[in-house]
């Protein structure tokens, strides 16, 4: 059996994305908590690491083996930044306003009998505001700088010093989004509508579940792949330019 216990869970998913299914099954956080080792994640969640290892081995064995298949670990910084912006950021720009409208509507109509829905709308609204500010900072400041690093010609000048500084800020905001998602899951019984839920209520929960899944993959790609590679690229350029 492969020695996965001492590897970060984010790295394990970056190497083989289908491992995320196993981690989701056990409730192991591979996005905001991607830097923790598998062993530490299991201890934190009171999970038998051997059971997770067996399932990871089974998942890897069932995965289609294709030596030509690339992961995001193989992508350039520019390719990954472009992908995140054109895929995940574009998704958020459409879904956040749509889900806000649904959350407000459902809270207004059903909030008196179901006060949790009022909490859902408030938490979502705060999360939306922070995410929109967050993605703007990435698109206007961090990603352009990362693309300059990717050219590998010279060390670009930055108002924030080293790229590790905005990365720490982005990771902190990712943690905030992760906490908000956790609250939304708890308030909605893991996005499960009650039997009497109306169409809008069901649409809201379905949309939140989709957002939750996409946002966790989005954060994983940044925390476990893009950001570490950007820091590594900057360090390499700094050595070359001395």
DSSP-derived secondary structure for 178-207: HHHHHHHHHHTTTTPPPTT--HHHHHHHHH
Same domain, 115 and 38: no
Same domain, 101 and 207: yes
Q: How many whole angstroms separate alpha carbon 115 and alpha carbon 133?
A: 28
Same domain, 108 and 25: no
User: Over the stretch 56-106, which tens digit does the pLDDT of each residue have?
Assistant: 999 888 876 554 557 889 999 999 999 999 999 999 999 999 999 999 999
Same domain, 149 and 43: no
Q: Is residue 3 part of a domain?
A: no
User: Over the stretch 110-130, which tens digit does the pLDDT of each residue have?
Assistant: 999 999 999 999 999 999 999
Q: Is residue 1 part of a domain?
A: no
Same domain, 128 and 151: yes
User: Over the stretch 137-179, which tens digit does the pLDDT of each residue have?
Assistant: 999 999 999 999 999 888 888 888 899 999 999 999 999 999 9
Quote the number of domains for the chain.
2
For 84, list phi and psi in degrees, rounded to 5. Answer: -60, -45
Q: Of all residues in the chain, what percent carry a pLDDT higher than 90?
A: 81
Question: Which domain does 39 fall in, by range?
Answer: 9-62
List, in order, residues 6 or more apart from 215 with CB less than 8 Å away: 31, 88, 92, 131, 177, 181
For 47, list phi and psi in degrees, rounded to 5. Answer: -115, 145
């Amino acid at each position: 059996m492969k020695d996965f216990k001492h590897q970060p869970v984010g790295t394990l998913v970056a190497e083989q994305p289908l491992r995320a299914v196993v981690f989701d099954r056990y409730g192991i956080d591979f996005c905001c908590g991607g830097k923790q080792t598998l062993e530490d994640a299991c201890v934190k969640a009171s999970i038998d690491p051997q059971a997770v290892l067996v399932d990871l081995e089974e998942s890897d064995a069932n995965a289609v083996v294709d030596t030509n298949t690339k992961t995001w670990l193989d992508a350039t910084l520019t390719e990954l930044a472009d992908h995140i912006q054109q895929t995940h950021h574009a998704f958020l720009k459409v879904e956040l306003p749509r889900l806000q409208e649904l959350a407000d509507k459902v809270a207004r109509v059903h909030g008196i009998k179901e006060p949790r829905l009022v909490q859902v709308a408030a938490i979502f609204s705060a999360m939306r505001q922070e995410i929109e500010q967050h993605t703007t900072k990435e698109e206007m400041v961090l990603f352009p700088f990362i693309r300059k690093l990717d050219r590998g010609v010279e060390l670009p000048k930055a108002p924030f010093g080293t790229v590790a500084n905005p990365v720490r800020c982005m990771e902190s905001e990712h943690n905030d989004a992760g906490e908000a998602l956790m609250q939304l899951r708890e308030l909605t019984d893991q996005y499960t509508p009650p039997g009497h839920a109306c169409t809008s209520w069901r649409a809201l929960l379905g949309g939140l579940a989709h957002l939750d899944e996409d946002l966790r993959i989005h954060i994983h790609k940044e925390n476990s792949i893009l950001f570490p590679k950007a820091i590594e690229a900057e360090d390499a350029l700094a050595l070359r330019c001395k």
